[in-house]
Amino acid sequence: AQSVTQLDSHVSVSEGTPVLLRCNYSSSYSPSLFWYVQHPNKGLQLLLKYTSAATLVKGINGFEAEFKKSETSFHLTKPSAHMSDAAEYFCVVSVGDMRFGAGTRLTVKP
């Protein structure tokens, strides 16, 4: 069985500062890992995915994530936050079926 833990339910940053959203996973097999973003009143949109290729994955809107097997982590980062990044972010682990984390709400202050 697989599971995922998002370590922060809420992260607040100032515009122009780095973003770090943390995710740890548990899986008996080599998983695929995803980050999805949900803007207010919208559906989920895929940011990026890891599927056993390069461990550093680049996604849309300047986000990237690094797969670290030794730490069972898949943290999401962005060098400089923008106001439009304010949203809820979900880390997902997949081995056959998908398991979603509880979500991290990102607030960006002007």
Site of interaction with other proteins (CB under 8 A): 9, 32, 34, 36, 41-46, 49, 51-52, 90, 94, 96-98, 100-103
Residue number, 36 or 63, with CB nearest to other proteins: 36
* Shortest distance, position 52 Cβ to other proteins, whole Å: 7
Burial profile 17-28: b = 16 or more Cβ within 10 angstroms, e = fewer: eebebbbbbebe
Integer angstrom CA distances of residue 19 from 3, 59, 64, 97: 23, 14, 10, 28
* Shortest distance, position 34 Cβ to other proteins, whole Å: 7
DSSP state of 70: G
Residue number, 59 or 62, with CB nearest to other proteins: 59
Residue number, 15 or 32, with CB nearest to other proteins: 32
Which residues lie below 8 Å from residue 43, measured CB to CB, with a gap of 6+? Answer: none
Residue number, 43 or 110, with CB nearest to other proteins: 43
62 contacts 79 by C-beta, under 8 angstroms: yes
* Shortest distance, position 38 Cβ to other proteins, whole Å: 8
Distance separating alpha carbons of residues 106 and 97, to the nearest angstrom? 26
* Shortest distance, position 83 Cβ to other proteins, whole Å: 22
